[in-house]
Chains A and B, each alone.
Chain A
Amino acid sequence: MNPLETLKTAIANSFRSKLRTTLTVLAIFVGAFTLTITNGLGTGISNYIDSQVAAIGASNAFTVTRTDTNAGLGSGPQKYDPNTRVLAAGGRPGSTQVALTQADLDKIGAVPGITGVSPVTRLNTAYIQWNNQEKYQLSVSVLAGAQPQLDAGQNLDDASTVPQIILPSSYVSPLGLSDSAQAVGQDVTIGIPDATGTMRTVTATINGIEQNALLSSGGAFINKALSTALAQAQATGTTTASAPVYTTATALFAPSTAAQISDMKNRLSAAGYTAQTLDDRIGTVKTVINGIIGVLDAFAVIALIAAGFGIVNTLLMSVQERTREIGLMKAMGMGSGSVFALFSTEAAFIGLLGSLIGSGAAIALGTVVSNALARGPLSDLAGLQILSFAPGTVAVVILLVMAIAFIAGTLPAWRAARQNPIDSLRYE
């Protein structure tokens, strides 16, 4: 029998016992459906996290701090050294963080591969106000290559001399603005206390409004022009005696391979600095999510294995039912290989049927549910499609299910193949 004939006969055979085939297909359907949904969940959530992560920082930047040489709990306080500056850090009470000086920044910048270093100055902004209406608290951060997801307006322009700001959408109506679109282009006043405690004000233009986001700090992004202006205002009245010190610095690098990145990290570490990319900082979140998806996938695979036993059973029954027919075909010169191919093709076809229907239903239902969720309970997390289906992943699911079905079919197929024609014909 040629392959096309085998395929046609296998398909026709699987439709001969409709109820039995339907039940097996249903079992596979459940497995394929679950697997497609869990994969959709994984794709949806990781897409969302990737876009959110891009919103808070660039992927080609390190956050660099001085490595704390304090050996940890119980080692007691460090000896005072007049050459090291320390800053009170936000960690456990009493912990300190070694500060970065201009000399440190130069050293970091000298590491091969690093294209630029900028210190992270803490800007203690006090409030924001529009059109002399109510004042609201505000925290700001510079946009170190981050790509916030915008509701309206445009991303910041660091080359511009105009002080620009991107506000979270939650600020729009409290400030007295009617909507995001109206907010863009408006001038706002930012209050910041200087070194002597006197409140200074700086004016900035709203360049964009950021969507509500999972990882957002609730603060605003500012461009270089605005951060310089704010830093100047904050520094008014500082005594020139104290040179500026920083807790952290941002070091940019050209797009690199993982090996190059880890090489740069090692060099920085050897020099006494701790460098973390955004992935390092966000890595744990992703690991947890991948773990959860992995567990869900495992459940789906268990469902599929159960469905696999269903296939074994269905085909064993069908081999039994067709014992005489197999005997007849073998008596007419059909080879064992062809008999095996016929039955395993039937198994794979049942698998294909189940997985196509299962994945199709999962995609249809998942898309509807996901859209409903995005409009309803999850609408605070703009841009989150909890389920999203990548064609590649769905294809992998279908192939996996077919492979499981095929493997399940080998036992019955082998039993059919090894039968002696006369014994099979005598079977009642």
Chain B
Amino acid sequence: MTNAPIVSATDLVRRYGEGEAAVTALAGVTVAFAQGEYAAIMGPSGSGKSTLMHCLAGLDRPTSGSVVVDGVELAHLDDRRLTALRRDKIGFIFQAFNLLPVLTAEENILLPLSIAGRRPDREWFEQLVATVGLGDRLDHRPSELSGGQQQRVAVARALVSRPAVVFADEPTGNLDSKASADVLELLRTSVDELGQTVIMVTHDQDAADVADRIVTLTDGRIVEDRRTQAAVA
């Protein structure tokens, strides 16, 4: 597990607003994530977890500092290139599932490839569907699926383009404990068996414990960065 970093941030600062009312969400964060790592970012509400994730994922631009994803410095990219980078190198899992209600589960899973105009690799798709366990639900619309099933579709969608890294923001926040366990398990599997890199924001200790590493933020600074039992095991 000593691979080269796939995502790294150096002296990341993100400030919102100007002057008196300015809020510093990130106050100088330097961190790196290796390929095949399953990392959890923890911290109290308002500590800057989401902001960090957004900056790492090219959804937000830091006030200063640099982010490198898969060897690409994000600061130099315009919106068009940044969008293409997100499309090709990054997978997203959101707390609110964010599936398109008008598409079937299968279409939702394939959406990133469809947008890129790429043909799906059928074998990979089958394997993915088998892993997330949605075989008989593929032609259902999201409204016909349970929350857990929807989030599993979202996981498959994040993995389908074999991104360099998958970001998950509170992926279990809207799920009951059984469904949460399933999704966390799924992410674990994707790291262990599919070699995926996963960076997950959560404030649930149980969820974090599934990860290899826990980075803890407070007031926009990393206050702790440690390996877990899972990583040792």
Check if A and B associate: no
Report B's interface with A, CB cutoff 8 A: none
Report A's interface with B, CB cutoff 8 A: none
